[in-house]
Structure 1
């Protein structure tokens, strides 16, 4: 899972430099789609099937407000039961926290 996320973030970084870019990647057990608009808003989704046969998915957006998960059955809910819907705070890097 860690390796998959590193690859996903790497692809996002590479494609962020190209406006109006679309990426569609599929394997037997995983799939990723990503689009970048002219105003540098990245939207996409990725999915995979666990070794147990469970299908997981994540739909996301990355824009001026940061990376946010819009919908997912893989990301756990908060202690209060709130699921990701895009209105939660963005994920920030640890480098930003150090400033």
Structure 2
């Protein structure tokens, strides 16, 4: 299912309110065993929660592919995995 969140808020604080709502809903999804990924992919907004559920072996595979196909790290750095270190070395950080 796809959910939209609509709520009243205080003008001038909508960005901060969105961040709080996004964090609470995303963590609730993770805590309930749901996945943070969806048809729009992961992206920067979902990255902190994606890191919590992505297996380390899969992160290593993504880093290896990124190092091979984008050794200078110019394509969407930091979106799905951490950016490559200078020289193109994969820097996989254990998140668990």
Q: TM-score, normalized by length of structure 2?
A: 0.30
Q: TM-score, normalized by length of structure 1?
A: 0.29
Larger relative contact order (C-alpha < 8 A, sep ≥ 6)?
2
Q: Which has a greater percent of helix?
A: 2
Q: Which has the larger radius of gyration?
A: 2
